[in-house]
Structure 1
C-alpha cells in the first residue's frame, strides 16, 4: 500500500493522468466568419486565446480557406510553443530551394525542417503554397505530438483516429483540409499527451499534454464558486494550491485564495483536484481533473459514524461529517446538515481531496423531495406551489429566504408551470436557492386492468402497463387506481402514474336504486344512478350490502362491467353522511344549504343526483341549474367543513341559474377620493381580494364612505362598486393557527370553513398590508378571521 501511495504521489506531482478530463472552451472570437454555434467555434476561440491564430487581416478567420503547407508549419510551431524560435530561424539559410529568404514564413519552415516536423516534398523542395491534404494535416499534428515511423497514409490516419483527432470530421485522406477543419484537429491535439520516448517494446512513453507548451499549468483544489458561496466574487473561483505531497501520497494544501475563472465553468469541478491551463499570465482556458471520485445514485443513503452507506452497503470512509464540505443542490454546507436529506435518486459524488483515504468533499445534486402534482397554475405573485389544492409552505418559490429559482425540464420559467404538471422540488439547506424539475408527461385512456403483487400496483392503459403510486395525487385518503377509471393520467419522470386529472374523487359516486344478491340460478344484479346521469343495471359479485334503496354509495367496477364492491360514500374518516328526507333552505346566490341550523356548501365539484317524481326519471344536474329557494333533499355527503361532495335531491323542476351582481370580500389597502365637481364624489379602492390586487371604482356618491380594512364589496355587472360594508372588527380575533387545508382552518378558537376565494394578507417590512397565501399560516401564527355572509372565512389577516 505504501508503494502504491508513493506512486500516486509521483503521478499527482508530475504527470497528467489518463483519467483527466478536459473542459470545452466556450469563449467567443473576434472573427466575423465564426458564428457562436458553428462546430468549430470553441476550437477557434481557444486557439485565438492561446495566440495560436490571429486570423486574417480582414477580420475573418477564413474557415473555408484551404490550408497551405507554409500556414501548416506556422500553426505547428505555435502549438509546440516555439514561436520565438521560428522568429530566430528566419535569419538562417532557407532549408528548401523554393523558399526565399524574404518569404513570409521562412522562419517557421526552417524551424519545422530542423525539428523534423517536415521533410519537404522531395528534391529539396517544400512547395510552401501547396494545399495541405487531410492526411498531411494529421501527419503534421502527429509529428508535433512525437509519433514517428507511421505508415503513409493509413497508419497516420489510423493513429489520429485512435487519439480522437478526427472526431467530428468525415474526410478522405487526400481531401484538401480547410482552416475550419484544422481548428478542430489542432484543438483536439492540444489535449493529447506528448510522446517523450519509446520503451524497449516500441511503445510510446507519454508525458505532459501539448497544451502545456503554450499555457501555464497549476494544480488546485476547487473549493467554491459564486453560485454556491455568496462570499466568492463574481468571475472568481475559490481554490487551494498544492503545498506538499508526502511520501505516502497525502496532499497538504495552501491557504484558500481566489483566481479568475476565465471562461471555465468551475461549478463542474467543485471538490476536485484539477490542473488549470491558463493563457500565459492570463485567465484559465481549460481544466483537467486529476482526483478520483466515488459516484453513485442515492438509495437509502445513510451516514453511520464516519462512513457513508448506500442501499445498505458501505461506500467510503469519511472525515467527521461536520468536516465534510458538501455542495447540496447548489449551496455550500457540511455533511452533518444534509445526511438525512439525500433523497433517493440524488446524484452523489464523493472526493478524497487530499488522498488520505478519507473522503472529505461531496457534491450532491438532484436531491429532490418526492414528486408532487401541482393543482393550480403558478402566478407571478405566488410564494408557494399549490399542492393538493393548498399553497403548501413546504414548497416555497418566492419570498425570504428564496433568492434564486432555477426551473428545468419541460418548462424554464415559474409562470409556465401549470396545474397537472409534476414537479420535483429541491433546495439548498438555507432555502436561498430552489431548483424545480418540471415533468409534463401524460397519458390518455382508460384503466382496463389493475394488478397488485403485494408491493407494487400496475395499471394497464391501452396495451401498456404503468406502475402506479400507492395513492394517486399523493393523498393517502384519496382513491387508488381502479378499473374503469378514464381520463388523463399524469406521469412522473420515470414514467410512473402519479396523478389523475378529472373527477377521480367523485367519479365513483352513485345512488343505489336496487340490489339483488347472488342466488343459485342468477348472477347478482345492482341498479345504479351514476355520476354521469345514467341508470344502468350491472352484474355484481357483491353478496350483501348494508346500504338501502336511495342511498348514496361508492362502487368499484371491473373491466367486464361487473360491480365488485359497494362501499360507504365516506372517502375520508371525517366525512359525514346525512339522511334528510325533508325540505331545506337554499341560497341560490351563495349556494348555501341550511338543514336544521347546520350549514352546507355546494360547489361546482358537488355531484348532484336528482329524482323527478313527475315523470319518474333520474338524472344528475349542474349547480347552475338550481335556482330554487328550497330544496327537497334525500341525502348528502359532506366533509368536516361542510362542503358537499354528493347530494341526492327530489325535485320535479330545476331552472337555469339567474345572473346576479356579485359580492366580494377583501382587504382595502387604499382609498382615493375623486372630486367630479358639482358636489359629486367617486372613490377608487385598492383591494386585496381573491389572491390578487385589484382596483375598483365606486358609483358616484356611494354611501357609506369606503374605508381601509376588511370589507364586503358589492359589484354590479361592470365591476363597479355599488355597496360597501366595512367589517370594523374581526369575527374571530387573535386566533392561533393549528392546521389548515383548502377547505378549512383549525385554530385554538374553533374550526371554520374557508371561502373558496379566501384572501390572506400580512404586513411587509414597511408596515403596508400585502398579499400572503395559506402557505404562510405556520402553526402558531396569530390571525384575525373575517367571515362572509355564509359564515365561511373570507379574509385572514396575519398579525
Structure 2
C-alpha cells in the first residue's frame, strides 16, 4: 500500500519528528530511488529543484535511462538531425536514442527545442511509451495517454490540474518512480503474428536489473548499528549504500529495499499502510488523542521503537506518555500498531565553529565536541533531514548528538520561529503552547529560555514565560521534532546602548543644521550600516582640538584635557540618555580588536599571528566610502555596509587596512579602512561603438551588459575604448562611469579549430595549438559581426576568428588571482 503523507499540523515549516527531521514526502521518496538507480542526477549544487519546470532535453534523459539505455546514449553523443541540437549539446546522445526509440519527436521546422518545457500531457505520454503501451492505445490525444497512465497507477500520487501546463520536475519524478513498478508491455513475434503481452517483471527489474525485497528492517547508525556512514544494515546484514537514501527515516518501519546488480542498496521505501507524526495530547483506555490527527484507537498489539533499540510492547503512561512526539503507524483498519520515537542524550545550540580543528562549541552548556583526527567513516552528520558535513553546521543551529567512543551521530537544524510572543498556555506532558506571531509551537519538555541573548537560561514553564517574555519579540529555536528547544530574547539589553564605528567628532553637523560651536556631535555607523549623528552630553565629555583639521577628540577630563580618549575611526560602545544624547562612550576592549595577518578564503578564516578567527553568518562588515572633507584620512564622511563575500578579496590584499573585533574564536565585526572599491563594484561589458558627445561638454558611451545596451555619462579624464570588452565602475547613483580598463585577450586574434564539451568544461582548440578551457555554464560569448546579446558559449564553431579573455576569480569577481578558466569569447 502507498504511504499516506499526512503530518501533524503543529509542526513548523518542514521539520518533523525523527533523527533528522525528515518528512515522508512522495517526491523525496521518488528522488531517492530515481537517484539511486541513476535516472536523475541533480544539479551541480546537489539539489533536484522539484518545484521547477522540466525541459524536453532533461525528460529525454530520464526516459532513456528508464529504458536502461544510458550506455547507448553515451555512444550516441554527437551530431543530431535537429538544427538546434549541436553535437556538443549535453543531451545529444539522449535525444538521439529517445527519438530512435519513438519516445519523443522533433518539430516540423527541423528543431527539437531542447530547452522548451514539457507539458504534463507530454510527460505522461512519453512515460506510457517507455512502458511499451503505445501500440495498443485507442482514442485521441492526449486522453488516450492520460487514461492509460491512470489505469497503470502512474497518476496515483500526483495532482495535476492542467495537463497542458508545463510539468513540474517533482511531478515528473513521482510519475517516473511509479513507472518503475509497472510491468511493461512486450512485443511477441513480428509482422502479422506479433502480439503484445505484459512482462513478468517490472520496468525496474527488466531494464535496470534491480531486485526488490520486502519486509526489510533497516538500521544505519554508526553509533547504534556499528555501520560506516556510507553503509546500511538490512535484516542484520551490512550493505554499501548508493544514492541519497536517509536510512533514519525507516527505523521501526516495514520497508521495501532495492538492490542493484552489485548487491548495493540503492533505494528504500516504507511499506506501511499509513504513517504520520504528531504530539500526544491525551489518552484514555485504548484511545489516543493527538494535537493534529485527533483521536486514534490502539490495535490489539502495539509496538514501541525507541532510540534505535529493538521493538518492545508499547504501554501508555509508561513508555508512551502525554506530550511525546511520536511517529505513528496505522494498520489497514486505521488502528495504531507502532509508536516510534527518539530522544537524543545531548542537545544544545551552536556558539562557535572552529573549522580548522573541526570543533563545535555550544552556547547553552559551554561544552564542545571535536571531530579532529576521528575516522570520518564513523561520523554521521545531518542537517534539516539531509546528509551534511561539518561545514553545513552554522552558529545558532540546534544540534542533537550521540557518541560512543570515536563514533558520532550528529543532527542539526536551523529552523526558527520569530516574532512577538503573544501568549503562552499549559500543554500536555508539562509542555507549553507558544503563540509567536501567527504561528503556534510547543515546547519539548526540556525547553529553556533566556532574556539576555544566551548569557543565562531558565526553565521554560508557562509561569516563567508569562512573567518574563510575553509581549516581547523572541526567536524560538526548534529542535529536531519541530518543537521549541530554546526561546531567545535580548530583553535585558537596552536599545540605547550599541556598538558603533566613530566616523567623526565635530562641533557642527549638517544633519541637524546646527552649527553652534558650544555643542559636540558624534557621527557614528552602527554595524548594520546605519549612519547616525548624536549630540554629546557636555556634562560628561569635553573636546580636544579646535576643528582646524575637521574633527575633535573626546575626553572624560572636563577641564583642560591634554589627550583625547575617543577619536574618529575608533570602535566604541555608546549609551544614550533619556534625552537622546550620548552620555557614555567606551572604547571596545582593545584585546578584542585585531589586525589580521593572513586569510584562508576557502574556509572563511582570518589569522592573527597564526591564531584562527572564523567569519560567520553573523559577522558584520563596514567599509569606508568617503574620506573626511573629501580628502582627510583622519575621519570619515560616509561608510557603507558590504557582505563578506564581496569583501574577502579586498581583505586578502589589504590586511593592514583591516580591523576585526573578535568574540572568542569568531569574528564579530570587520572594518575596512579604505575607500577602494571591493570586487562587487566592478562591472564588465562590451563598448558599443565609441564615446559620443551629449552636450554641455559631456560625453557618453553605450555598453552591452548581458545583452542589454546601457548608456553612461563619462566621468573620466580619458576614454579611448571602442567596440571592445572593458571592466568599469559607476558612481553612487549608477549614472556615470568613473573608471574603465580594457580587457587584454589571452593570445590575440585566434582561429577556432574545434569546440568540445567534456563534463562541465568547454574546450576550444585553436589552429595555433592553443587550448582555451572554461566552465561551460559560465563562459560568455559575443558576436561583434552582428550580435547584440551576450550569451552562453553555444555559438562558437570551427573557423571562427575569436579573442578570448580570462579575468574573473573562482567566485566570478574581477579580482586577482583569477581561476585560470576563460570567461569571455568575442567573435570578430
- Could you state the TM-score of these two structures normalised by the residue count of structure 1? 0.36
Larger radius of gyration: 1
Q: With CA pairs under 8 Å and 6+ residues apart, which has the higher RCO, 1 or 2?
A: 2
